Amino acid sequence: MRAVFNSPDTHNLVVCTLCSCYPWAVLGLPPVWYKAPPYRSRAVIDPRAVLAEFGLDLSAEKQIRVWDSTAELRYLVVPERPQGTEGLGEEKLVELVTRDSMIGTGLALSPEAAR
């Protein structure tokens, strides 16, 4: 397993183009759309449009890196720390991380959204 880190300049998206490899031991069962051929192919061809369909509109300046998981190597995204969380400890930060943020189709929740 390899962790890739979102940053102010880069957003990471995980896909498996061949067989829908998914870190289910960590994240639980994959969502149905993760295995769907349209997601798997479009995420590579036009990741910005796919993310927009998930409600994630990233600035044109932000680079999107797509990571193709395999049976031998699976990826997890470490989401960017949300604004306003500088004083939060690990226990509270964990509550902001979602399955979608760990595969790149979402962001970590804001502290207000987690309540």
Residues forming the active site = 16, 19-21
> How far is residue 52's CA from residue 81's CA, in Å, rounded to a whole number?
20
Within 8 A by CB and 6+ apart from 9, the residues are 61, 62, 63
Name the residue type at position 109: L
Contact indicator for 51, 58 with CB cutoff of 8 Å: yes
Contact indicator for 4, 64 with CB cutoff of 8 Å: no
Helix (H, G, I), strand (E, B) or coil at 108: coil
